[in-house]
Structure 1
């Protein structure tokens, strides 16, 4: 056999093994992501905070009311007082609430 042909065959086999390994890892990651999504759904349902239906955790209802009234700064302040979050986290949470309404 020609040396170049052997090299090509070895490279094709190595590439096939690499692709097979990647596919296997992707399937495992997909299963894990599906499981995490299911668990997150259970947590959201338990908290009664399903995005899109307007529900939030009961302790955050005053924040939701401030967001509805367009009082974003007051909502951020209230969120921080209720949760102990820092400014960046509170701002991001309030902005997510704005998107839900």
Structure 2
């Protein structure tokens, strides 16, 4: 095979990979937007009915990391367990630390 043929095949494969990745990104974006809309609707219903979100119990592993001074690891575990975003997890872990005098 000559060099131009190999280059053409590589370019075609890279193009195909980009198309597949783009489709996945669009699907994920659509699912994220749909989930956000569902969460807004649920929050509206809960507010209308006067239902408060239940308090979360504090995870012993998160507390153990805080006690050892491992704040970043505590945030990481909190995010894994709750699905919270980075800012929300950071605030929650810092609140736990303050309540226990571990700041």
Give the TM-score of the pair, scaled to structure 1: 0.51
Q: Matched residues in 2 for 1:84 and 1:37: separation?
A: 21
Match of 1:18 in 2: 17
Match of 1:9 in 2: 8
CA RMSD of aligned residues (A): 3.3
Q: State how 1:1-101 maps to structure 2 within 5 Å.
A: 3-48=2-47, 59=52, 83=55, 85-86=57-58, 92=92, 95=95
Gaps of 5+ in 2: 63-77, 79-90, 96-103
C-alpha deviation, 1:38, in angstroms: 0.4
Question: What whole-Å deviation, never above 9, does each CA across 1:40-61 have from its counterpart, x for those lacking one?
Answer: 1111112229xxxxxxx6557x
Question: What whole-Å deviation, never above 9, does each CA across 1:25-51 have from its counterpart, x for those lacking one?
Answer: 1111111011101001111112229xx
Based on CA coordinates, which of the two structures has the bigger radius of gyration? 1
C-alpha deviation, 1:83, in angstroms: 3.2
Gaps of 5+ in 1: 50-56, 61-81, 96-101
Give the TM-score of the pair, scaled to structure 2: 0.50
Q: Matched residues in 2 for 1:13 and 1:6: separation?
A: 11
Which 4+ stretches in 1 moved above 3 angstroms? 57-60
Q: Matched residues in 1 for 2:29 and 2:41: separation?
A: 18
